Structure 1
C-alpha cells in the first residue's frame, strides 16, 4: 500500500474542504439565480397575454419545467459534496443577480427579460464549469455543460421569436 495514502486524511470524494467550498459556492450561485429565474418563468406563464399568449404560455411552461429539473440536479450535486444548498427565497433573492419583475408586462418584455436571465445564468454557469475544471470535478463540469447547451439553444429560439 502506498504510504502516502495511509497517512492522508480522508476527504469527501477526494477534494479538500477548500476545493469543496469553491465548487459548492459556484453551484449555489447558479442555484440562486436559477431559482429566481424559475419563479419569473412561472409568473410569465401565468400572466402572459395578447396575440402571443398561446405560443408563450406553452414556451414558458416548457422552460420552467426544465428549469425545475435542473434546480433539483444542482441542489443534489451540492449535497454530494456534503454541503447544504441554498433553499430559502430570502437566500435566493440575496445571492441572485437575476431580479424579480412585475406581472403586468408586455409579452415581448417578458421574452427580453428571459433572454437577459439566460445571459446571467450562462455567466454563472461558466464560472461553475471553471471552478469544477480547476478541481478536476468532471461530474459537475458535465452537468453544467449540459445546462449551458440547452440554454444556448433556448436563447437562439427566443431571439428568433423576437425577430418576427
Structure 2
C-alpha cells in the first residue's frame, strides 16, 4: 500500500531530475530541442539577410514583382526568426545571435548581388527546401521530446514556406 508521504515524494523526486520542472524537460531534452532550434534559427537568419540583399539589388523586367515579394518575405522571415529565438528563451537558453554563429551553423550560404532576378528566385527556392528540412527535423526532435509548443509553432511556418515555394515555383516557370 502506498502512503500519502510516498505519493508526495514521488513527484518531487521526478521534478528534481528535470532541468525545468515547470516545463518538464530534462537537460538532455532541452539540449536536443535548443540545438535543433538554433540550427533552424541560423538558417533562417542567413536566409533573411539573403532576402534583404535580393530586395535591394534585384534588376530586370520582373523588378517590381520580385522586389515586392522579397520585401514581404524578409518581413515574414523576421517574425519567424523572432518566434524561434523566443522559443529557445522559453527553455531558459540563449539563442545564437551573431552573424558569425549563423554563418558557421547554417546550411544556407550567402549570395552575391550580381544574380539575375530569376537566379535570385532560384536561390530562395533552394533556401526554402533547406528551411523545410530543418523545420521537419526540429518537429521530429520536438515530437520525440513531447514538445507540442514547438510543433505547433513550426507547423504554421511549414505551411507558409510550402505556399511560398509553390508560388515562386509557379512564377519561375515561363
TM-score above 0.5, yes or no = yes
Q: Distance in 2 between matches of 1:2 and 1:127?
A: 38
Q: Distance in 2 between matches of 1:6 and 1:86?
A: 33
Partner of 1:106: 116
Q: Which one of the candidate residues 31, 34, 37 is aligned to 1:27?
A: 37
Q: What is the CA deviation profile of residues 102-128 of structure 1, one whole-angstrom value per residue up to 9, with x for unaligned ones? A: 001100100000000000000000000
Partner of 2:11: 5
Q: State how 1:56-135 maps to structure 2 within 5 Å.
A: 56-135=66-145
1:140 aligns with 2:150: yes
Where do 4+ consecutive residues of structure 1 move more than 4 Å?
Answer: none
In the TM superposition, what is the alpha-carbon distance from 1:3 to its structure 2 partner?
2.8
Q: Which has the larger radius of gyration?
A: 2
Q: Distance in 2 between matches of 1:32 and 1:144?
A: 15
Q: What is the CA deviation profile of residues 4-54 of structure 1, one whole-angstrom value per residue up to 9, with x for unaligned ones? A: 112230531100000000000000000000000000000000000110000
1:157 aligns with 2:163: no
Stretch moving more, 26-35 or 9-18: 9-18
Query: Which runs of 5 or more structure 1 residues have no equivalent in the other structure?
Result: none
Q: Distance in 2 between matches of 1:80 and 1:39?
A: 25
Q: Which one of the candidate residues 39, 56, 76 is aligned to 1:46?
A: 56
Q: What is the CA deviation profile of residues 52-110 of structure 1, one whole-angstrom value per residue up to 9, with x for unaligned ones? A: 00000000000000000000000000000011100000000000000001001100100
Aligned residues: 164
TM-score (norm 2): 0.92
Query: Which runs of 5 or more structure 2 residues have no equivalent in the other structure?
Result: 1-6
